Amino acid sequence: MEDQVVIVSGGGTGIGRAAAIQFAQAGAWVVVVGRRSAPLDETASFSDRIVPVSADLLNEPDLERVIQTANHHWGRIDVLVNNAGAFLQRPLEEINQQLVSSLYATNVVAPSLMSQAALPYLKATQGAIVNISSTFGHKASPMISHYAASKAALEHLTRCWALELAPYRIRVNAVAPGPTETEILLRSGLSATAIDQIKSEEARRVPLGRRGVSDDIATWIVALANRNASWITGQVIAVDGGLSVA
């Protein structure tokens, strides 16, 4: 990854932070993006190869600012990691239009707009897109139907974009994490008791006996972005301790 230029959305915490640090350690230059500046600054403190940009990816001027930050600093974009995401646990009878619209805006619309904005630069470098899905993008589970469906949409976007962009030698893949120790549950609005119960149940369900950590996932994000993976496209790699086959 030496001197490759990488954009990581949701780079302030969790999987995004771990990926940004691993990319920097591999020699890449990294733009980390998110809505909250303090976590982004903390991620950037790990390496002088990481540049933070506070932005709302559903806002066109912010989106353009992210792209131009990479262009201004290094004149290219080699890898886009669509990691920013939202989680929703609700039974069908309790959802509403605002909840569903917000979820899909974050998990489907924002990655689409980000990929579109980066596309001219990825064409020039024959680069790569790595989308971050979930085990539940392809495994059914109660109470998270709309979250799971939004990740299923992202997985199918991955496959469709892989075919669409193959003539430009742009590779598009996805990593599908299982239950992982990040802040996503804390930001979902669930109570501390509910979160503890979810974590305990998930750990019991995972065949390898534990929830994942961010570096488990980041390793595979970097691997798929690497040019050594130049003959892999349109794939969804499950990194979930065996949960998806349990």
What amino acid positions are annotated as catalytic residues? 147
CA gap 196, 234 in Å, rounded:
35
CA gap 41, 45 in Å, rounded:
6
Q: What size, in residues, is the chain?
A: 246
Q: Are 237 and 173 contacting, i.e. CB atoms less than 8 angstroms apart?
A: yes
| Alpha-carbon distances, residue 238 vs 15, 30, 42, 109, 230 (angstroms) | 14, 24, 28, 22, 19
Q: Pick the closest to residue 44 from 1, 8, 4 (CA basis).
A: 8
